[in-house]
Amino acid sequence: MRRISCETFLELRCLSGIAVSPDGRYAAYTAQIPDLAGNGYLAELRLAGLEDGSDRRLAGPGPARAYSWLDGRTLVYPAAGEKGTDYMALPIDGGEARKLFSVPFKAGKALPLGGGRLAFTAQYAMRGEPDAAFDVLEDLPFWSNGAGFTAGKRSQLYVYDPGAGVTQLTEPPFNVAGVAASGGRILYTGSRFTDVQTLRHGVYVWEGGDSRCLLEQDRYIVKLFDIWRDRAVLCLTDALSYGNGENGDFFTIPLAGGEPELLLRHSDRCVGSTVGTDCRLGAGSAWRVDGDTLYSISTVGRSSRIEALDLMSGETRPLTGEGSVEFLDAAAGKLVYLAFRGGRPGELYTLEGGAEKRLTHANDALFDSLELSVPEPIEAATGASVPVQGWVMKPVGYEPGRRYPAILSIHGGPRLSYGRVFFHELQLWAAEGYFVLFCNPSGSEGRGNEYADIRGRFGGIDYEDIMGFVDAALGLYPDIDPKRLGVGGGSYGGFMTNWIIGHTDRFAAACSQRSIADWTGMEGTTDIGYYFAKGQTGASHRDSREKQWSQSPLRYADRVSTPTLFLHGERDFRCYKIEALAMFTALKLRGVDTRLCLFEGENHELSRSGRPRQRLKRLEEMLAWYNRYLKDMED
C-alpha cells in the first residue's frame, strides 16, 4: 500500500456526461484523465451496457464531450469544423463518425427533436466580432468565469431540419439560459436585457414552428426544468425570503399556458449536489423526467441523494442513501447516475429491484493500492440552534499518544457542503501526517434555507460555528497539537480564512485561495458581484458602505500576525485577483510573512479543473507552506 501524494490526482479517471439511450439499453459517458505532458485532459467517450454489463470505449481521446442520442444506435455531437461547427453522428455499432451538417459559428450540444431535427444554442455577438485591440463593455456582467469577456454576447436558440436547414428561433437582446427538448417540443428559459442581466428568467415553449411565453421574466428564478406530458416541470423560487441562493419548490405549468401550479414543497433541501470534491470533471444533469417520474438530486444533511417524485400522485421517496450523487440520466425506465461511494471517486451506478448496482470500475486499480484515512463524523454544540456537523481525519499511520499538527479546511459557497466523499486534497494532508478538520457551519447547504441563510452576518455566526467545531475536535482528539494548527479554504473558504486570521492568532499558518477580501471590490469587478455582494452582505457600498466594510476581511488586516499564503487564478472572474493582491499588500506592509502565487490563465476552478501542471504546483505550494510553519515547529 502507498500513501497519496500531490501527484496522485494525475492517476484519477473522472466520469461525467451520462446519457441513457432512448431504449434504456446503454449509457454513454465521458472518462477524463489528466495529461501532464500536454497540460490538459484526455477524454474518452465510453459506452456502458445496462443489460450485459459491458463497458467499452467508443471514441477518443477526442472532442465528443457534448453528445446526445440521435436514436437508439447513434450519438450526435458538435466538433470544430473548418469554418465553425460540424455536427457529427457516431454509430455505436462501429464505423467512423459522419457529418450531419455545419454552421459557421461555434455551437453547443444538440438535442434531438425527432425526424432528424436538432435543437442547439450558440453565442451571438450583437455588435459583431470584437476588435482585437480593445474590449468594449456595455452591459453587466461584462465577463464570466471560465468564458472571458461576454459583454454584448447573447446565447441564441437554433433548430436544424434536414429539409429546411438551420433556423434561428430567438433574437438578441434575448439571452437563452437553458434548453430541454421532448416529443418535438423545446422548452427554454432566458431573459431580454440591454444593460444589466436579470436572474429572473422567463420560460418559453417552441412547438410546431411557433414560440410562446409560459412564464414572464422577472417573476421567478428558474433553477431546473423539463417537459412532462403536456406540462413544464420547474423548480422555481421568488428569492424573497432567503435571497438569490434560496432553494426552490417544484411547480408545473401547462404547455398551453396558465399559472404555475405547486407540485411539491422542496425548499427545505437543495436541488443538485452541493457536496464538495476536487475529483469532479465535466458536467451532467441534476434531474430528469422519465415517463411519469421526476428523478432529482437533493442535498440532505451530509449527503446528496436521488429522490423520485411520482408526477401523477405527487408522492416522493428517496432512492439512494449516504454519500454523494453528482449527475443522473434516465430513459425507458432505466436510471443511471454518478455516485461517490465507500470513500472512493465517482463511478456509474444503476438500480435493479431497488438495489444499487455498480456499472464501472474506473479507479479500482488505483484505490486498491492506496492507504487512506477514514473521515470520522463528529458534532459540535456551538451556541447555534443546531449542532455543527463535521469530520476529523486522523493522519495515515496514526500512532496514539503522539502529537500531530492539524489543518482546518473550509468549503466554498457558503451554500455548499462537505460530506464523506473522496477529496484528494484532504487525503493528501492526512497522508503527510496531519489531522484534518472540516465541517458544515451555518451558511452550508443540506439543512434547509434557514440554516443556510447568513446574509448580513458574514464573519459572525459562521465564524463562531467554525471555531466551536475546532474546540470540539481538540477536546475529542487530544493528540492534536493546538500550537500547530493551520487553516485554509477557497472562495467562501478563502473569505473565511482571511476573516479568521484577522480575528484570532491561534493558527500558526494559513492558506487563502481564490478569496474575497473586500466586498466592495467583489461587487464591482466579478461576474456575480453586482448582485451577490449586496445579496449576501445586505448592503451595497453605494447605500451602506460601513455595513459592507464591516463584513470585509480587509478591514481587519491590521490585526493579522498569521503567516499566510495566497493562491489565485489571474483569470478568476468570480473572485477577481484584486482580492488577493489587497490582502497580500496589507500583510506585507504589516510585516507578516506572506506569499502570493498568481496562476496565469487559471480561473476560479483551479483546484478542480485547472490545468494539471498548475493544479500540481498549487498543491506543492500549500504543502510546503504548511510544512514550514506546522512541522518545523514540532518539539
Question: What are the start-end ranges of the H helices in 263-414?
Answer: 364-367
* E strand segments, 313-352: 316-318, 324-331, 334-340, 347-352
Asked whether the predicted pLDDT for residue 207 surpasses 70, the reply is: yes
**DSSP letters of 208-246?**
TTEEEEEE-TTS-EEEEEEEETTEEEEEEE--SSS-TT-
Give the 3-state secondary structure of residue 555. helix
Q: What is the pLDDT of residue 370?
A: 96
d(CA 464, CA 19): 44
pLDDT bin (cut points 50, 70, 90) of residue 46 is: very high
Mean pLDDT of 411-433: 96
Q: What is the pLDDT of residue 268?
A: 79
- φ, ψ for residue 16, nearest 5 deg: -165, -175
The grid coordinates listed for 230 are 403536456
Measure the N-to-C terminal CA separation of the chain; round to a whole number of Å: 29
Mean pLDDT of 200-210: 94
Asked whether the predicted pLDDT for residue 383 surpasses 80, the reply is: no
Q: Which amino acid is at 198?
A: T
Of 147, 123, 155, 135, the C-alpha closest to 573 is 147
Q: State which fold the 66-268 domain adopts.
A: Methanol Dehydrogenase; Chain A (2.140.10)
d(CA 564, CA 486): 10
Asked whether the predicted pLDDT for residue 255 surpasses 80, the reply is: yes
Asked whether the predicted pLDDT for residue 634 surpasses 70, the reply is: no
d(CA 166, CA 367): 48
**DSSP letters of 125-176?**
ETT-SPPTT-----SB--EETTTEE-TTEEEEEEEEETTTEEEE---TTEEE
Q: Which amino acid is at 591?
A: G
Least confident range from 149-163, 178-192, 260-274, 320-334: namely 260-274
The grid coordinates listed for 74 are 447513434
pLDDT bin (cut points 50, 70, 90) of residue 67 is: very high
Q: What is the pLDDT of residue 243?
A: 67
Mean pLDDT of 240-257: 85
Domain boundaries, given as residue ranges, for the chain: 66-268, 372-517+552-631
Q: What is the pLDDT of residue 520?
A: 96
Q: What is the pLDDT of residue 157?
A: 98
* pLDDT, tens digit (0-9, with 9 covering 90-100), for 497-512: 999 999 999 999 999 9
Sequence-distant (≥ 6) Cβ neighbours of residue 370 within 8 angstroms:
1, 2, 3, 4, 8
Mean pLDDT of 35-55: 96
* pLDDT, tens digit (0-9, with 9 covering 90-100), for 526-569: 999 999 999 999 999 888 899 999 999 999 999 999 999 999 99
Supply the DSSP symbol for 627.
Answer: I
Question: Burial letters for 74-106: b for 16+ Cβ neighbours within 10 Å, e otherwise?
Answer: bbbbbbebeeebbbbbbebeeeebeebbbbeee
Mean pLDDT of 373-390: 90
Q: What is the pLDDT of residue 244?
A: 67
d(CA 630, CA 4): 19
Task: Determine the length of the chain.
Answer: 635
The grid coordinates listed for 586 are 496589507
CATH architecture of 372-517+552-631: 3-Layer(aba) Sandwich (3.40)
Give the other-Cβ count within 10 Å of 181's Cβ: 23
* pLDDT, tens digit (0-9, with 9 covering 90-100), for 472-487: 999 999 999 999 999 9
- CA torsion angle for 235, 241, 242, 246 (degrees, to 10)? 0
Give the 3-state secondary structure of residue 323. coil
Residue written as grid cell 496562476: 599
- Per cent of the chain over pLDDT 70 is 98
Give me Rg for the CA atoms of the chain: 25
pLDDT, the chain, mean: 94
Sequence-distant (≥ 6) Cβ neighbours of residue 485 within 8 angstroms:
405, 406, 407, 408, 470, 506, 507, 508, 630
Q: What is the pLDDT of residue 633?
A: 63
User: Could you tell me the pTM of the whole model?
Assistant: 0.96
The grid coordinates listed for 180 are 430541454
Q: What is the pLDDT of residue 62?
A: 78
The grid coordinates listed for 291 are 415517463
Supply the DSSP symbol for 107.
Answer: B
Asked whether the predicted pLDDT for residue 407 surpasses 90, the reply is: yes
pLDDT bin (cut points 50, 70, 90) of residue 328 is: very high
Q: Number of helices (H) and strands (E), helices first, in the chain? A: 11, 41
Pairing between strand 85-91 and 74-80?
antiparallel
Q: What is the pLDDT of residue 1?
A: 87
pLDDT bin (cut points 50, 70, 90) of residue 270 is: confident
- φ, ψ for residue 199, nearest 5 deg: -85, -15
Give the other-Cβ count within 10 Å of 162's Cβ: 11
